[in-house]
C-alpha cells in the first residue's frame, strides 16, 4: 500500500472523528461566533477551490482558462434551472471536455 | 432490529441515498483514475466519510501536496461539521457507546438535516442509527462501484472538471442558503494576493486570509 495514501487517509479519519465529536466532548467551548464562522466559512473555501481547480496560473496565458469559465457558466445556468447536482455536474463536465476537444484545444 | 424504524428511516433517507450513491461513484472513479489501486477508494470513503473533504483531498493528492497542506485545507472544510453535534447531544446520549460513536462519526449534512427535522421516535436510538447507516452505506457502496468499474469506463481528458463543477455547485448552494454576496467576491482577491506572494501554496494562504476576513467581519458586525 502507498504510504502517502495511508498517511492522508489515517489523518483525515482522525480529523473527521475529532471535528464531529468536538461538541460532544466540549460543549462549553463552542461559542456562537465560532459557530457562525464554521457555518459561513465553507462558502468562501468552495469558491477558492473552484479557483484552485481552474489553476490561477492558466488565466494569464491563452486560452485564459476560457473553457473552464464557459463550462462553469453552463453549470450555473443548469443548476439555477434544475437544482439537480448530478445533472449540473454532467452538463458542466461534458461542456468542458467538448470545448477542450474541438474548440479550444490544448488547455487541459 | 426494529422493522418499523428501519422502514421509516429508509423512507426519510431515500433522497440522500439517491444523492450519495452517484457522488460516491464519481469519487471512486476519479480516485482510481488518479492512479490508486481500486480498493483504496472505498477504504478511504469508509474511514473518512466526508464528501467535500475527500474531494478536496483527492484534488490536492493529484497535485502531490504535502500532508500538512492537505490536513490544514480539509480542516477548514470539516470545521462545519463541528457544530452539527450541538443540536444532538441529548438525543445521542441514550445510545450505547459503540452506536453513539458511529452516529457521531457519521453525522454528515444529510443525517443532521433529517435528525433535526424529524422529532424523537418511539425507538429513537434505532431510528438515529438507521438514519446514520443508510447514507453511510450509499456513500461507501457508491465509491466501491465507481472504483470497481473504473477500468471499464474510459479515462477522458478533462474528467477532473467534475470536481470543479461540484465545488461550483456548492458555491451556488451556499449563496442561495445564506445570501452573502461577499462570499462570492472576497475569495477572488484573496486568491490573487496569495498567488502573488506564494504561488505554490496559494490555496492555504488564501483560506487563511478568508478566515481572517470572516472573523473580523463577524466581530465588527456582531451578526
Q: How many CB atoms are closer than 10 A to CB A4?
A: 14
- pLDDT score, position B42: 97
More confident residue, A14 or A85: A14
Among A11, A32, A36, A51, most B C-beta atoms within 10 A, so best to mutate, is A51
The mean of the pLDDT values for chain B is: 89
- ipTM of the prediction greater than 0.90, yes or no: no
Q: Which of B77, B101, B104 sits opposite A45 (nearest CB)?
A: B77
Q: Which of B44, B162, B215 sits opposite A89 (nearest CB)?
A: B162
Rg (CA), chain A: 19
Residue B192 burial by Cβ neighbours in a 10 Å radius (0-12, 13-18, 19+) = middle
B207 close to A (CB below 8 A): yes
Mean pLDDT confidence for A30-54? 80
- pLDDT score, position A108: 45
Mean pLDDT confidence for B144-168? 85
- pLDDT score, position B105: 94
Locus of grid cell 458542466: A92
- Nearest Cα residue in chain B from A92: B165
Q: Which of A11, A13, A100 sits opposite B157 (nearest CB)?
A: A100
- pLDDT score, position A107: 47
Best CA proximity match to B29, nearest among B65, B52, B55: B55
pLDDT tier at A28, thresholds 50, 70, 90:
low
Separation CA B70–CA B66 (nearest Å): 6
Query: Using an 8 Å Cβ cutoff, are B30 and B160 in contact?
Result: yes
Is the link from the previous residue into A63 a cis peptide, with omega within 30 of 0?
A: yes
Chain B residues within 8 A of A47 when measuring between CB atoms = 167, 171, 183-184, 187-188
Among B104, B136, B171, most A C-beta atoms within 10 A, so best to mutate, is B171
Percent pLDDT > 70 in chain B is: 98
pLDDT tier at A104, thresholds 50, 70, 90:
low
Amino acid at each position: 500500500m502507498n504510504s502517502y495514501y495511508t498517511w492522508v487517509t489515517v489523518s483525515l479519519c482522525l480529523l473527521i472523528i475529532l471535528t464531529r465529536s468536538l461538541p460532544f466532548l466540549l460543549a462549553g467551548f463552542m461559542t456562537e461566533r465560532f459557530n457562525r464562522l464554521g457555518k459561513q466559512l465553507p462558502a468562501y473555501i468552495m469558491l477558492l477551490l473552484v479557483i484552485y481547480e481552474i489553476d490561477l496560473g492558466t488565466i494569464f496565458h491563452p486560452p485564459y482558462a476560457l473553457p473552464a469559465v464557459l463550462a462553469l457558466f453552463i453549470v450555473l445556468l443548469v443548476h439555477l434551472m434544475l437544482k439537480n447536482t448530478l445533472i449540473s455536474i454532467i452538463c458542466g463536465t461534458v461542456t468542458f471536455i467538448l470545448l477542450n476537444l474541438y474548440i479550444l484545444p490544448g488547455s487541459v | 432490529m426494529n422493522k418499523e424504524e428501519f422502514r421509516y428511516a429508509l423512507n426519510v433517507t431515500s433522497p440522500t441515498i439517491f444523492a450519495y450513491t452517484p457522488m460516491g461513484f464519481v469519487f471512486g472513479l476519479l480516485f482510481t483514475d488518479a492512479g490508486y489501486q481500486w480498493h483504496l477508494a472505498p477504504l478511504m470513503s469508509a474511514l473518512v466519510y466526508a464528501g467535500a473533504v475527500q474531494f478536496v483531498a483527492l484534488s490536492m493528492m493529484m497535485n502531490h501536496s504535502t500532508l500538512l497542506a492537505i490536513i490544514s485545507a480539509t480542516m477548514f472544510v470539516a470545521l462545519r461539521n463541528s457544530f452539527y453535534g450541538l443540536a444532538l447531544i441529548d438525543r445521542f446520549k441514550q445510545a450505547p457507546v459503540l452506536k453513539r460513536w458511529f452516529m457521531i462519526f457519521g453525522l454528515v449534512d444529510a443525517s443532521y438535516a433529517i435528525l433535526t427535522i424529524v422529532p424523537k421516535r418511539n425507538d429513537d436510538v434505532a431510528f438515529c442509527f438507521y438514519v446514520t447507516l443508510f447514507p453511510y452505506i450509499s456513500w461507501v457502496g457508491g465509491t466501491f462501484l465507481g472504483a470497481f468499474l473504473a477500468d471499464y469506463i474510459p479515462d477522458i481528458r478533462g474528467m477532473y472538471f467534475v470536481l470543479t463543477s461540484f465545488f461550483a455547485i456548492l458555491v451556488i448552494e451556499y449563496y442561495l442558503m445564506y445570501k452573502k454576496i461577499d462570499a462570492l467576491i472576497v475569495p477572488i482577491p484573496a486568491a490573487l494576493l496569495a498567488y502573488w506572494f506564494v504561488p505554490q501554496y496559494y490555496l492555504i494562504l488564501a483560506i487563511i486570509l478568508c478566515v481572517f476576513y470572516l472573523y473580523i467581519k463577524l466581530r465588527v458586525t456582531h451578526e
